[in-house]
Structure 1
Amino acid sequence: MTFSLRSRALAAIVSVCSIAVLATGCGTGNTGIDTSEASTNQIITANITEPSNGLLSGNTSDMSGWKIVSQLYDGLVTFDTKGNEELVQAKSITPNTDASGYTIKLKPSLKFSNGEKITASTYARSWSFAANAANGQVGASIFEDIKGYDDLQDANGDKNAQLSGLDVVDDSTLKVTLKEPNSAFAYKLGDIAFLPVPSQALKDPKTYGLKPVGNGPYKLKEWKSGEEIVLERDKNYKGPRKVKNAGIDFKVYQSLDAAYSDLLAGNLDTLDSIPTSALKTYRDEKNITAISKDGPSFSDLTIPQNLKHFQGKEGVLRRRAIAHALDRESIAKAIFDGTVTPAADFLAPVIKGYDPKLGADALSYNKDKAKKLWSQADAISPWDGTFRIAYSADGTDKEWVEAAANSLGNVLDIKAESYPFATSKELRSAIQDRTIGAAFKSGMSSDYPHPEGYLVQAYDSASADGKGLNNGDYKSARFDALINQAAKQTDLDKAIGIYQESEKVLIEDLPVIPLWYTNVTAACAKGVHVDYNYMGVPEYNTVTK
């Protein structure tokens, strides 16, 4: 996701662009992709962890689910590597004069793989279902710009209630009325929650999530929980993505180390992330092709607002102390071998608006400052207990979590320790249920290349309380007001300036401690060709061997 956003106001999107290969990646260095029959008949094997939820776009909260859902569905738009929006199912997306409303025109003859037509009504029903709190979708808050969203936030309300800001003019025309002007809305349409789903999904979402019916280049063939998720090429797919293989066999691993071992043994074609234990050596392995490139991933240490000793003024002081007590530079070098860069703001270097000076002082490693701030917090309420950092044993976080706990314990003279969960699914459930009772790593790699994708989704009050990705439940009227002000700016450069002001509020409050930006570190077997998309994820439909 190497983006540089367009430095002008969003205009009507009228050209029809196909999805191109978005980045050079793992492979033999040839520029062409093998389109032989031998290649298109091959099943590609790839790694994954068990998705936290079913495969329903509005309820997708983790990268594992994103990988699958993004192959099963096409949406209105996607993005190229420069952050330019490309139309997929949309023929045009036209804002009104102040970006308080949009007219979306669909391409003709759109269908799901079961033959059900995709019309403006399909999109209106899908979005309303996902936005409605009664349906309990984790992606609900992405729709909060649309008029009528607030009326659907009763968890005990009518599950079939619709967003009043959606007007179906005819089968190919959907008019969207926003609560307030938002020039970023056309970008937000690239978020996975905006994907269309068939009518059966709304009748029985839980069952549907296990056997989804999409409109993308692949269909779900089989899901063996804890073992594999197998996708097969949809031979009737008419969309713009060209499929160069017969399907993807996503193998579920309990750890990246196990997946990496399979890659080295020739039992896996592509691995999207290298375990920390191999970062120093994977580039030297002879039977794989290694890759390291800039990516869009921002990681942080989230400390829930309801955690004991982390509320009010005391909480702010302790968060600031932790920011100074965490030796992120040493962790980046010793554990990640330079494949991560300590974060200086709440975006990512590839997103316009990124400012490395923003958090330089607040995030610097300074033991004296850390001890002083912690002592000031103790004057309000003496510290007791253990500071815990949660992580999943099937992921890659154990080493850095233990290093971070050691750093905090030594500097602040407190008991700090790691808090492992067996699987990422269990960890995610504890975070979503607000039962975790500990700090945990979170982060952003937005579905759409705009500062709003990082800031609103993770810190706006509307995204708290399980309605979005504000997993620490941070709420700030100052921050919300600046975000709302930025949304009204039709000049992107002016909007960026206000987004940066909102980041200054985050630096003061530190609802999360920015950790680092992560490079795309991946590998594939020799003879396998992999390209990477704007999210830094393999472009699975173009993988060949």
Structure 2
Amino acid sequence: MKFNSVEHHSNEADGTGRIHGFAPLSRRGFLGGVAGVGVLSLLGGCSNGAGGTGSTGAASDESSGSILAYYISNPTAIDPYNCQETMGSQVVSQLFDGLMIYDFQNDELVCTACESYEMNDDATVFTFHLREGMTFHNGDTVDAQSFKRAFERIVDPSTNDSPSAISYHLEPVQGYDELLSGDADELSGVTCPDELTLVISLKYSYADFPYVLTHPALVPVPQAALDDPASYLLAPIGNGPFQMEGQWEDGQMISVRKFDDYYGTPSSIDGVDFSIRRDVGSAYMEFQAGTLDFCQVPNAQYEDATQQYGISNDGYTATPGNQVLNGSELSTYYLIINNTQPPFDDVNLRRAVSLAINREAICETVFNGNRTPADGFVAPMVDGYQEGSWEYCKYDPDQAREILDQYYPADADGNRGITLQLSYDLNGDHADIMDVVMSSLNEVGIQVTADTGEWANIVARVHDLDYQFCRMGWSADYPTLDNFLYPLFCSSSPDDASGYKNDEVDAAIAEARATVDHDERIAKFQAVDKMIGEDCPVVPLFYYQHNYVVAERVDELYLSPGIIPSLDAVKMG
């Protein structure tokens, strides 16, 4: 998971039968695959695969002209060991191939570095069969041991001076707790019967575990990652369609170039220059001047950009004249509520607060329509999303007043005796969003005081349950109902920062996670989702959307809902 530190990603101050694939494709070519998790039972199969007007974009000094100039803000890391946010993930995903990717267009898992996998009867053991002939950028062989090495490197607290921020992805694996605590020197649940077979054994049933392996950090690493970690930090050696050219120039540039010995179809472009800029405003000016091919659009200029460059036909694929990407993402902006203390220990108040907030006004006035009002916590691009799943996640001030009149009647002066404290930081657009929230609540007789401060301090208080309600963002690591529901609403999860506890919900989540049949698992999670919605433990406000623009000289560029671009499949004139 990712608790978002800003309203949008880091540039605003912030997972029947074995099917073998032999014909190598580009990773975008995987999107035409046909075998997905929808038919998983005891065995898991994989589809074939390996691997406007205005600005015309950046000119290249290479003869082919196919170097893409791609805007990012400075990443936290480009070493998979600590790949924890969207900027770093966009780079890491070009340098590395993991075991799986998720095909959003066909709603299915697809194999990349493995050609097939199997799952046992109770979803506790997964066996992956790797492709032959894969090499790292330095010529080393990609084998099962390279995945075990990578996973242990992430969990082992002695790997680097500071522990990995993303080791929690591997928490289900047997031996995780022992390695993390320093009581073991290997991840016992990851074994390598031979060079091309990787077996992962879990502590509990978790049928969605293959989705976990779609995370950009869960990729193989060569021995060089252990031998020279300092160099690897700045110039990681991967197995993907691009390799590093030089080192990461902190705050300036990350350059990658086509890897000629890639096991799949070679990249259709020669390389990518990830141009690091401090803020989206200056980056957008460079895009308009023609020095960038890809950029985020400032919120205030979104409407003008759509008129100048045209909107993508599907929200995710940019083509000339349809260059603004505005598809839904795997992220939800919400108000987290302390369910453990008065007055928010009362479900009736939580329901009334949710009904009172004008989500449409936030999306239209703050974001010029580039957000979607939330009707539940799960984002629309997730398999199993149900429209209107949370009954009280809508704007109905009259129903809010009815609930409040019953449980918190107003006195002669209209005072209901409710004063709430709303915590938030002043980065990005949060103040404007919270102004709408407070105004909406005032309209139904709820007084709200602002509690502003530094984001790091607010987050610490939230995890200590020292707050009433607070703005928050959730970005899913994998496109599953589980990744939206288990972390925040299962009382045994370390991310349950609302203090929400419902024993029936806990049991239902555990049952859903252990269900092997895909459709049955989805149905069980959908039922859990509705149960949680009845309790209103948090107040979803809106779903995030892309707000990026691509230069006219780029014939085609795809950016997934998970903000992972298919840069090896970019087409440039």
Q: Normalized against structure 1, the TM-score is what?
A: 0.79
2:272 aligns with one of 245, 248, 263: 248
Q: Residues 273-328 of structure 1: CA distance to partner in whole angstroms, max 9, x if unpaired?
A: 432212222111169753345323331225375xxxx6345444465454234211
CA positional deviation for 1:485: 0.7
Residue 337 of structure 1: SS of its match in structure 2? Answer: coil
| Structure 2 residue identity aligned to 1:262 | E
Structure 1 distance, partners of 2:457, 2:222, is 30
Matched, 1:340 2:374: no
2:381 aligns with one of 325, 343, 350: 350
Structure 1 distance, partners of 2:61, 2:406, is 65
Unaligned runs of at least 5 residues, structure 2: 1-27, 55-59, 311-320, 410-416
May I ask how many residue pairs the two structures share in their alignment?
507
Q: Residues 437-471 of structure 1: CA distance to partner in whole angstroms, max 9, x if unpaired?
A: 78343122443x33223333554456526xxxx67
Structure 1 counterpart of 2:236:
212
Structure 1 counterpart of 2:217:
193
Structure 2 counterpart of 1:439:
470
Structure 2 counterpart of 1:33:
none
Matched, 1:517 2:546: no
CA-atom RMSD in angstroms: 3.9
Give matches, 1:81-92, under 5 Å: 81-92=105-116
1:484 aligns with one of 504, 510, 520: 510
| Structure 2 residue identity aligned to 1:75 | G
Residue 210 of structure 2: SS of its match in structure 1? Answer: helix
CA positional deviation for 1:75: 0.8
Structure 2 distance, partners of 1:242, 1:361, is 50
- Over 3 Å counting, the alpha-carbon distance change for 1:181 and 1:350 in structure 2 is same
Give matches, 1:141-290, under 5 Å: 141-154=168-181, 157-158=182-183, 161-202=185-226, 208-220=232-244, 221-225=246-250, 227-240=251-264, 242-271=266-295, 273-285=296-308, 289-290=322-323
- Over 3 Å counting, the alpha-carbon distance change for 1:180 and 1:420 in structure 2 is closer
Matched, 1:297 2:330: yes
Q: Residues 180-234 of structure 1: CA distance to partner in whole angstroms, max 9, x if unpaired?
A: 3332222322122321223343567576433322222223334233x33322214
CA positional deviation for 1:257: 2.8
Structure 2 counterpart of 1:456:
486
CA positional deviation for 1:498: 1.6
- Over 3 Å counting, the alpha-carbon distance change for 1:451 and 1:501 in structure 2 is same
Structure 1 distance, partners of 2:466, 2:257, is 39
Structure 2 distance, partners of 1:404, 1:104, is 48
Structure 1 distance, partners of 2:500, 2:153, is 26
Structure 2 distance, partners of 1:427, 1:240, is 46
Tell me, yes or no, if the aligned pair for 2:150 and 2:220 is still in contact at 8 Å: yes
| Structure 1 residue identity aligned to 2:515 | Q
Structure 2 distance, partners of 1:522, 1:243, is 22
- Over 3 Å counting, the alpha-carbon distance change for 1:344 and 1:115 in structure 2 is same
Structure 1 distance, partners of 2:350, 2:237, is 45
| Structure 1 residue identity aligned to 2:90 | K
CA positional deviation for 1:472: 6.0
Instruction: Name the % identity.
Output: 24
Structure 1 distance, partners of 2:550, 2:431, is 24
- Over 3 Å counting, the alpha-carbon distance change for 1:152 and 1:208 in structure 2 is same
Structure 1 distance, partners of 2:87, 2:465, is 22
Structure 1 distance, partners of 2:77, 2:341, is 37
Matched, 1:18 2:49: yes
Tell me, yes or no, if the aligned pair for 2:355 and 2:393 is still in contact at 8 Å: yes
Structure 2 distance, partners of 1:198, 1:250, is 24
| Structure 1 residue identity aligned to 2:40 | A
Residue 323 of structure 2: SS of its match in structure 1? Answer: strand
Tell me, yes or no, if the aligned pair for 2:330 and 2:381 is still in contact at 8 Å: no
Q: Residues 516-541 of structure 1: CA distance to partner in whole angstroms, max 9, x if unpaired?
A: 22333321222223422443533222
Structure 2 distance, partners of 1:445, 1:224, is 29
Residue 415 of structure 1: SS of its match in structure 2? Answer: strand
Residue 531 of structure 1: SS of its match in structure 2? Answer: strand
Structure 2 distance, partners of 1:37, 1:347, is 45
CA positional deviation for 1:55: 2.1
- Over 3 Å counting, the alpha-carbon distance change for 1:497 and 1:372 in structure 2 is farther
- Over 3 Å counting, the alpha-carbon distance change for 1:341 and 1:205 in structure 2 is same
Matched, 1:495 2:483: no
Structure 1 distance, partners of 2:130, 2:374, is 40
1:413 aligns with one of 439, 447, 455: 447
- Over 3 Å counting, the alpha-carbon distance change for 1:58 and 1:455 in structure 2 is farther
Tell me, yes or no, if the aligned pair for 2:363 and 2:371 is still in contact at 8 Å: yes
- Over 3 Å counting, the alpha-carbon distance change for 1:479 and 1:385 in structure 2 is closer
Structure 2 distance, partners of 1:134, 1:432, is 29
Tell me, yes or no, if the aligned pair for 2:258 and 2:267 is still in contact at 8 Å: no
| Structure 1 residue identity aligned to 2:178 | D
| Structure 2 residue identity aligned to 1:213 | I
Q: Higher Cα Rg: structure 1 or 2?
A: 2
Unaligned runs of at least 5 residues, structure 1: 21-25, 29-35, 377-381
Residue 555 of structure 2: SS of its match in structure 1? Answer: coil
Structure 1 distance, partners of 2:106, 2:551, is 28
Structure 2 distance, partners of 1:482, 1:452, is 11
Tell me, yes or no, if the aligned pair for 1:483 and 1:502 is still in contact at 8 Å: yes
CA positional deviation for 1:179: 2.2
Residue 262 of structure 2: SS of its match in structure 1? Answer: coil
Matched, 1:390 2:406: no
| Structure 2 residue identity aligned to 1:500 | Q
Structure 2 counterpart of 1:23:
none
- Over 3 Å counting, the alpha-carbon distance change for 1:471 and 1:19 in structure 2 is farther
Residue 193 of structure 1: SS of its match in structure 2? Answer: coil
| Structure 1 residue identity aligned to 2:520 | K
- Over 3 Å counting, the alpha-carbon distance change for 1:281 and 1:400 in structure 2 is farther
- Over 3 Å counting, the alpha-carbon distance change for 1:486 and 1:385 in structure 2 is closer
